Amino acid sequence: MVAYATTSYVAAQALASSLQPQVVAAVFFTSAACTVALAVLLASLRLRPPWWCACAVCEAYVTASWTAEFDNLCDWYAHLLSRAPGRTVHVHVLGNVLTANPPTVDHMLRGRFDNYPKGAPIDVACSWCTRR
């Protein structure tokens, strides 16, 4: 074990002495720059704003372009749900899923409706559903 460690140390010393200091510095700073760039990239991906979603629904919601055709948000939601293939729409920027799929709605209403998270925007729009 000692002989192997000594041999490895001698080999590392020989390699280090054969490299020019500029090469060692360039390798060090290049690896440091790559590490910093990777950290910045990962942080920006993790902390990206929710309005970066590029789907048509989210873009229309964020830019309020739906107001050109519809008087209120509920009418636009109804339009989206009527055109969605599964009668379910995911509004990514709100973190909500809107559904008018009959089996899904039936399941939610037969179960405890208050168990399903609705989010603040949906609670306001559908406050009449949860009144007691």
C-beta separation of 87 from 100 below 8 A: yes
Give the span between the Cα atoms of 31 and 52, in whole angstroms: 30
Element (H, E) at 88: strand 88-91
3-state secondary structure labels for all residues of 96-119: EEEECCHHHHHHHHHCCHHHCCCH
Q: Which residues pair with 89 in a beta bridge?
A: 98
pLDDT at 121: 59
The residue with greater pLDDT, 61 or 127, is: 61
Give the span between the Cα atoms of 126 and 112, in whole angstroms: 16
The residue with greater pLDDT, 68 or 117, is: 68
pLDDT at 122: 61
Task: Identify the weakest region by mean pLDDT among 5-9, 26-30, 71-75.
Answer: 5-9
Give the span between the Cα atoms of 3 and 114, in whole angstroms: 71
C-beta separation of 119 from 94 below 8 A: yes
pLDDT band at 81 (very low <50, low <70, confident <90, very high): very high
Is the entire prediction scored with pTM above 0.85? Answer: no
pLDDT band at 115 (very low <50, low <70, confident <90, very high): confident
State both tokens at 105: 């709605």
